[in-house]
Amino acid sequence: MSEMLDKMTLPDGDFELLMLHADGELSGDRTAQAQQLLAESAAARAIWADLQLTRTLVRAIAEDAAAPAQAKLARTDLSLLPGQIMRKLPDDQALHPVAEIAKERGLIAWIRGLGFGKVGFAMGLAAAAVAFMVVKAGPVADGPVLDQTAEIAAVPGTNTAPRPDAETPDDGSVFIEEMDIESGGVMVHPPREQGGSTIIWHFQDNGAAQGAGGEG
């Protein structure tokens, strides 16, 4: 449990540094900084191990994903990571532009591609976590895989967030305001067309659900 607290309390800047280091996107000085952090912090090393495992899984999934439909499948499979905990989003990542997501590469892009600005991992822990968020699940047009990502906004310290009022009455729009995850994971797919359903996949820790997302 104390290990989990260490992970959760690692400064965001250090967490970001490790993620960029895992992607090999750091310059020489920043790389040295990341290595020093790993040498000095047990929490950083624990997170590094999680990131490496995540990276391995992502790579294995991505290598199998030749077609866009399979890539979508791979994105969903990433949510099967055991003990995944969704953390509150920082302000500056609210409503992360889809276009920017599409330009990103590597692990961060995969994680953000899930629809979350930041994801914390606590492997092997059946911990409960509350993610305060709003998922705007309005209809989206078919397109590249990452374009299917739902927009997410968050307001720290509250379970509500400002929502666009562009909808007309009885538009059937769906917002996920709050998630309380006991185990497993959750994936939200916005409707593909007006009047369609918002699809919410519920994953168990044993990775039972496979291939969520369909053929599209």
Partner 1 sequence: MSAMWSKTAVLRGALLALLLAATAAQAQTPPPVPTQAVERASFQVRVIEATKGAASVDPKLADLERELRSLHRDYAHFALIKSDTQSLTTGTRGTVRLPNGELIIQFLGLSADKVQRVRHRVEMPGLNATVRAVAPGGRTLDVLQLGDKLVIVATTVGR
Nearest distance, CB of residue 73 and partner 1, angstroms? 8
The whole-angstrom distance between residue 124's C-alpha and the CA centroid of its chain comes to 18
Q: Of 24 and 195, which has the nearer Cβ to partner 1? A: 195
Interface residue list for partner 1 (CB under 8 A):
159, 163, 165, 167-184, 186, 192, 195-202, 204, 208-216
Backbone angles phi, psi at 100, to 5 degrees: -70, -35
Name the residue type at position 78: L
Q: State the nearest-atom distance from the C-beta of 188 to partner 1, in Å.
A: 9
Q: Closest CB to partner 1 among 18 and 86?
A: 86
3-class SS at 72?
helix
The alpha carbon torsion through 183, 102, 58, 150 (nearest 10 deg) reads 20
Nearer to partner 1, 20 or 213 (CB): 213
List of residues 6+ apart from 71 with CB closer than 8 A: 62, 65, 145
Task: Rank residues 18 and 148 by Cβ distance to partner 1 and give the closer one.
Answer: 148
Question: Which residue shows structure tokens 């590094």?
Answer: 48
Q: How far is the CB of 82 from partner 1 (least distance, A)?
A: 13
Q: At closest approach, how far in Å is the CB of 7 from partner 1?
A: 21
